Structure 1
Amino acid sequence: MIKNIIGGIAVGIANVIPGVSGGTMMVILGIFDHMMSAISGVFKVHNPDRKADILFLLQVLIGAAIGLVGFAKVISFLFDYFQVQTMFWFVGLVGFSIPVFWKSESKNEKVQWLPLVIGMAIIFLIKFLAPDAAAEINPEFPALSVFYCLKLILIGMISGAAMLLPGISGSMVLLIIGEYYLFKSLLANVLSFQLIVLVPLAFIGLGVLLGIILSAKATKFLLEKYHSTTISLLLGLIIASTLILIPLEAAYDLPLILSSCFACLFGGCIVWLIERFV
């Protein structure tokens, strides 16, 4: 139970940071396969483990809600004062998780290089298309309408589908389609308990649920029918997502280099501790 909630918290935190993948966090914590199976299992006609699947998903969702809301200020503080080190912390988390992912998911299969290259190309294309994320949160929201609600469901579906895929950042995809700031603004104002905030978030939540279901079913199908190809593709997504997290534009000096290396190694230590004890 604790592992599932921690996994959900990591997914929630990851999905508010452009470039960081919630799916990769699930890989690090070893709940990726379980997540795919549980989501698909809930909607199976005959599933004797339905209650266990629902309980697992509730635990992860509770953790994700805690991560999204409870850690928003912590992440904002880290990015305000230690942005480069924070990014290298995530580089360590994701990078050191690559051997863990391959060891647990490859089933002694060899890497297929074409799917791996395609996976890396997808991430680099997303990064190339994504605009700058350094805009302020805008607390003004559109009036509720049918079109706006349908748009919110679509935003949620995109975010939910990307949430499960290792290496793909839901926030970065929303940046590309120009909806990241709306989502971030709504999330930042959730504790105001205004209907103009809560109702849109409810529609986004519905879209996220639909996106997660469709993404999980598609991923599970591909893993069952084309396991080696799919795992190699996912490996490419994770490798490339590690590379694009490196803040190349930073003005590096010796203290920043040393602190960034420490942050990266700290991320690696967390992966080692999780693999060993969680």
Structure 2
Amino acid sequence: MGAADAVPGVSGGTIALVTGIYERLIAAITAVSLARIRAVLLGVLPGHRNDAVGALRAVDAGFLLVLGAGIATAIVTVTRIVHTGIETMPVLTFGFFFGLIAASAWVLFSEVAVDTPARAAAAVAGFVFAFVVSGRAAATLGDGLPVTVLAGAIAVSAMILPGISGSLLLVILGQYEYMTGTLSAFVDALLATVTGGPLAPLREHGVVVVAFIAGAFVGLFTVAHAVRWALNRARTATLAFLVALIVGALRAPIVRTGEQLTELGRTWTPTAVAAFVAAAVVGAVLVVLLEHYTGIADIDGDI
């Protein structure tokens, strides 16, 4: 799940479905509440141990701990590779992302019926929002801590949506490259500190990582539950909006490739366009193969 969540276009929720842990994951996430967190924190006090144990069992804490460790390990590893690719091979990297996103949109839209005015309006709204935001978000939102908290809260909602990638939501918000770079820098600073290096870089990047995690934690109680509420009230219209987000987000890899080429003193050339398309084809084929061999495109029935 961590490897999937680290790249835009592939959903960790999809991997959860493939591995058969999706229902257990959703049950554990939705079982987390402030009351149970309080019970766990008070478990260190005399007479509260049984309540703490009961709360831990209710949220399937052992499962979440092991799963979280695996996700964190994969994210740290994969984001480092992705960040290096963005800096050194932007055309191939963003082309690959474009293919992942485009194929995900094609696969998922085939399962969403946009056959009423309300559903069509939801799809148009999702597309327009993602198209506009994915082209301007990085410059408009910046990279302050409040934005990082917001990004974490929104990205975590993808955990309950097979087919919707948390990294894709970060791309739409213009925070993907910033967060992958910050995470890589934080890991480097942590390793340097262990070997006697300075603490300043660890504090600088650690604040951002903690802010993102805090936002994700808040999102478990707000954004994720809001998405589930919307799915329960207007499932098809909500899915149409969410899948249309993916289509609108196709603008982001193209825009970011152009910006990255400019930073490197290069421009779009026929060779660059061909490389972008070739990488996109590879990404699209991977998604189509995943859907073909797992048969999990029926998101309307799985959520």
**Where on the TM-score scale, by shorter chain, does this alignment land: which range?**
0.5 to 0.7
Question: Please, what TM-score do these two structures have when normalized by structure 1?
Answer: 0.68
Shift of 1:254: 3.6
SS in structure 1 opposite 2:222? helix
Match of 1:66 among 70, 73, 76: 73
Where does residue 30 of structure 2 map in the other structure? Answer: 40
Where does residue 256 of structure 1 map in the other structure? Answer: 272
Paired residues of 2:134 and 2:249 also in contact (CA < 8 A): no
Instruction: After superposition, give the CA deviation of every residue in 1:56-95 in whole Å (9 maximum; x if it has no partner).
Output: x546533442343212331233123321121111111111
Q: Tell me, in whole angstroms, the C-alpha distance in 2 between the residues paired with 1:222 and 1:124.
A: 22
Q: Percent identity?
A: 18
Number of residue pairs matched by the alignment: 242
Unaligned runs of 5+ in 1: 1-6, 15-19, 138-150
Letter in 1 for 2:170: G
Trace 1:22-37 onto structure 2 (pairs within 5 A).
25-26=11-12, 29=15, 31=17, 34=23
SS in structure 2 opposite 1:234? helix
Paired residues of 2:149 and 2:212 also in contact (CA < 8 A): yes
Q: Tell me, in whole angstroms, the C-alpha distance in 2 between the residues paired with 1:59 and 1:8.
A: 12
Structure number having the greater helix percentage:
2
Where does residue 97 of structure 1 map in the other structure? Answer: 104
Match of 1:126 among 133, 140, 154: 133
Letter in 1 for 2:11: M
Cα gap change, 1:220 to 1:37, in 2 (>3 Å): farther
Paired residues of 1:157 and 1:210 also in contact (CA < 8 A): no
Q: Tell me, in whole angstroms, the C-alpha distance in 2 between the residues paired with 1:197 and 1:10.
A: 27
Letter in 2 for 1:227: R
Where does residue 148 of structure 1 map in the other structure? Answer: none
Q: Tell me, in whole angstroms, the C-alpha distance in 2 between the residues paired with 1:96 and 1:180.
A: 22
Report which of the two structures shows the higher radius of gyration computed on alpha carbons.
Answer: 2
SS in structure 2 opposite 1:169? helix
Q: Tell me, in whole angstroms, the C-alpha distance in 2 between the residues paired with 1:85 and 1:245.
A: 10
Paired residues of 2:152 and 2:214 also in contact (CA < 8 A): no
Letter in 1 for 2:30: S
Where does residue 110 of structure 1 map in the other structure? Answer: 115
Cα gap change, 1:239 to 1:204, in 2 (>3 Å): closer
Where does residue 208 of structure 1 map in the other structure? Answer: 216
Paired residues of 2:123 and 2:243 also in contact (CA < 8 A): yes
Trace 1:214-233 onto structure 2 (pairs within 5 A).
214-233=222-241
Query: Do structure 1's residue 188 and structure 2's residue 182 form an aligned pair?
Result: no
Paired residues of 1:156 and 1:206 also in contact (CA < 8 A): yes
Paired residues of 2:99 and 2:281 also in contact (CA < 8 A): yes
Cα gap change, 1:90 to 1:234, in 2 (>3 Å): same
Cα gap change, 1:125 to 1:186, in 2 (>3 Å): same
Letter in 1 for 2:283: G
Paired residues of 1:78 and 1:86 also in contact (CA < 8 A): yes
Q: Tell me, in whole angstroms, the C-alpha distance in 2 between the residues paired with 1:180 and 1:78.
A: 11
Paired residues of 1:92 and 1:265 also in contact (CA < 8 A): yes
SS in structure 1 opposite 2:29? helix
Question: Please, what TM-score do these two structures have when normalized by structure 2?
Answer: 0.63
Trace 1:260-271 onto structure 2 (pairs within 5 A).
260-271=276-287
Letter in 1 for 2:227: T
Unaligned runs of 5+ in 2: 37-53, 159-163, 191-198, 262-266, 295-303
